[in-house]
A and B are shown apart, each in its own frame.
Chain A
Amino acid sequence: KAGVTQTPRYLIKTRGQQVTLSCSPISGHRSVSWYQQTPGQGLQFLFEYFSETQRNKGNFPGRFSGRQFSNSRSEMNVSTLELGDSALYLCASRRAPETNEKLFFGSGTQLSVL
């Protein structure tokens, strides 16, 4: 069974640009979560999608948005990039956002904003 796939693996952008990251969950998983990881902040929750609907949202500005398609694949978009958006963006999937469902993570997209 293929794992969680994130593309691209590395990305370099400049301030003011926008970026779209992609995540394909494990087959059969309908919940996709996104995280931002920076050296000093650990993993911070961005949002979770289930059945094409945003179920939960973290404390990030509106520049960070996402969506989920009918095949459960998800995209995350960051507009008007800032230097502080440089981070590892991780995607995780699980069958559903239930109490004892464990998360399976992808390898992440390393975004550098210059």
Chain B
Amino acid sequence: DAKTTQPTSMDCAEGRAANLPCNHSTISGNEYVYWYRQIHSQGPQYIIHGLKNNETNEMASLIITEDRKSSTLILPHATLRDTAVYYCIVRAQKVTFGIGTKLQVIP
């Protein structure tokens, strides 16, 4: 089973880019990388996903390494409302979320 490793916590200054890393060295060829975030006491919210190519949407950018063993979620201009727990997952079946990265955006 593909597992992910993320730092437990990170800080980012408001207005700066937040770069959240994820290691998924056992990812299979057909598994997508998904990112979700969870703001306290709410359900997780989908952010972005990708297979091989880098992706960008209105919320964030996803950079996937060529060997697909790691990825980085980029929030280009972090705001206080981006303070949340960010989850990186790589499994479509029995989707399992780890502890995630607690991102604190600092004023």
Interface of A with B (CB < 8 Å)? Answer: 4, 33, 35, 42-45, 48, 55-58, 88, 90, 92, 97-108, 110
Distance A110 CA – B41 CA, assembled complex (angstroms): 9
- Any A CB within 8 A of the CB of B81: no
Q: Taking chain B's interface residues, is the majority helix, strand, or loop, or is none over half, making it mixed? A: loop
Distance A43 CA – B4 CA, assembled complex (angstroms): 14
Q: Do A97 and B34 have beta carbons less than 8 Å apart?
A: no
Closest to B93 in A: A56
**Interfacial residues of chain B within 72-99, with CB under 8 A of chain A in the complex:** 87, 92-99
Distance A58 CA – B42 CA, assembled complex (angstroms): 22
Q: Do B43 and A90 have beta carbons less than 8 Å apart?
A: yes
- Any A CB within 8 A of the CB of B44: yes
Q: A42-B100, A99-B32, A100-B49 are in contact. Are A92 and B94 (CB under 8 A)?
A: no
Q: A99-B30, A100-B49, A102-B49 are in contact. Are A58 and B94 (CB under 8 A)?
A: yes
Instruction: Collect the chain B residues with CB atoms within 8 Å of residue A58's CB.
Output: 94, 96
| Count of interface residues, chain B, beta-carbon cutoff 8 Å | 23
Q: A33-B95, A42-B97, A58-B94 are in contact. Are A105 and B32 (CB under 8 A)?
A: no
Q: Do A103 and B95 have beta carbons less than 8 Å apart?
A: yes
Instruction: Collect the chain A residues with CB atoms within 8 Å of residue B25's CB.
Output: none
Q: Do A99 and B92 have beta carbons less than 8 Å apart?
A: yes
Across the interface, B42 reaches (CB within 8 A) one of A48, A100, A102, A107, namely A107
8 pairs, CB–CB < 8 Å, chain A vs chain B: A35-B97, A42-B100, A44-B97, A45-B94, A56-B94, A102-B34, A103-B36, A105-B45
Q: A99-B32, A103-B46, A104-B46 are in contact. Are A45 and B95 (CB under 8 A)?
A: yes
Additional A-B contacts beyond A43-B87, A48-B93 (19; CB < 8 A): A33-B95, A42-B97, A44-B96, A48-B94, A55-B93, A88-B41, A98-B92, A99-B31, A99-B92, A100-B32, A100-B51, A100-B92, A101-B92, A103-B44, A105-B44, A105-B45, A107-B42, A107-B43, A110-B41
